[in-house]
Amino acid sequence: MGSQPNGRFENLVGELVPASEDVFYSRNDPNDLRFGDVAERTLSAYGVCEIVVVGCPQDEGVRRNRGRPGARLAPTRIRRALYRYAVSEVHEHLRMLDLGDVRVDRELELIHQGLLRVVRHCLADGKKVVVLGGGNDISYPDCQALSSVVEHPLVVNIDRHLDVRADEARNSGTPYRQLLEEGAIRPSDFHEVGINTFANSPTYLRYVEEKGAHVHCLSDVRDAGVGKTVREIVDSSTTDGIFFGFDLDVVRAVEAPGVSDPSPMGLTAREVCEIADVAASDPRTRIVEITEVNPEFDLDEVTSRLAANIIVRALADGT
Within-domain flag for 204: yes
pLDDT reported for residue 10: 74
Query: Can you give the pLDDT at residue 13?
Result: 85
Q: What is the CATH number of the domain that holds 103?
A: 3.40.800.10
The Cα angle at residue 207 between residues 210 and 284, in degrees rounded to 5 = 80
pLDDT score for 9: 73
User: Band of the pLDDT at 318, cuts 50, 70, 90?
Assistant: low
Alpha carbon distance 12, 125 (integer Å)? 14
Q: What is the pLDDT of residue 189?
A: 98
5 pLDDT band (50/70/90 cuts)? very low
What percentage of the chain carries pLDDT values higher than 90? 94
Q: Is residue 319 part of a domain?
A: no
pLDDT at 8: 64
Domain hosting residue 147, numbered range: 7-314
Average pLDDT of span 211-219: 98
Residues contacting 176, CB < 8 A, separation 6+: 139, 155, 157, 162, 163, 164, 185, 190, 192
Cα angle at 60 between 56 and 65, to 5 degrees? 125
Poorest-confidence range of 3-12, 32-41, 185-194, 306-315?
Answer: 3-12
In a domain, 50, yes or no: yes
Whole-Å CA distances, 243 to 52, 152, 153, 234 = 15, 11, 7, 10
Burial of 255 from C-beta contacts in 10 A (0-12 / 13-18 / 19+)? middle
Tell me what percent of the residues of the chain surpass a pLDDT of 70: 97
166-214 pLDDT, tens digit each: 999 999 999 999 999 999 999 999 999 999 999 999 999 999 999 999 9
Residue 69: CB atoms within 10 Å: 15
- 145 within domain boundaries: yes
Specify if 155 maps to a domain: yes
Q: Which amino acid is at 208?
A: V
Per-residue exposure over 33-48, b if at least 16 CB sit within 10 Å of its own CB, e if not? bbbbbbbbeebebbee
Is 49 buried (19+), middle (13-18) or exposed (0-12) by CB count in 10 A? buried
Whether the Cβ atoms of residue 245 and residue 136 lie closer than 8 Å to each other: yes
Task: Work out how many domains the chain is built from and give that number.
Answer: 1
Dist CA 274 CA 271 (whole Å):
5
Q: What is the pLDDT of residues 121-146, one digit of tens each?
A: 999 999 999 999 999 999 999 999 99
HEC readout, the chain? CCCCCCHHHHCCHHHEECCCHHHCCCCCCCCCCEHHHHCECCHHHHHHCCEEEEEECCCHHHHHCCCCCCHHHHHHHHHHHHCCCECCHHHCCCCEEEEEEECCCCCHHHHHHHHHHHHHHHHHCCCEEEEEECCHHHHHHHHHHHHHHCCCCEEEEECCCCCCCCCCCCCCCCHHHHHHHCCCCCHHHEEEEEECHHHCCHHHHHHHHHHCCEEEEHHHHHHHCHHHHHHHHHHCCCCCCEEEEEEHHHECCCCCCCECCCCCCCECHHHHHHHHHHHHHCCCEEEEEEECECHHHCCCCHHHHHHHHHHHHHCCCCC
Residue 280 included in any domain:
yes
pLDDT one-digit tens code per residue, 282-314? 999 999 999 999 999 999 999 999 999 999 999
Predicted model pTM = 0.96
Q: Confirm whether 2 is domain-assigned.
A: no
Can you name the residues that pair with 259 across neighbouring β-strands? Answer: 293
Q: Is residue 309 part of a domain?
A: yes
- How high does pLDDT run on average in the chain? 95
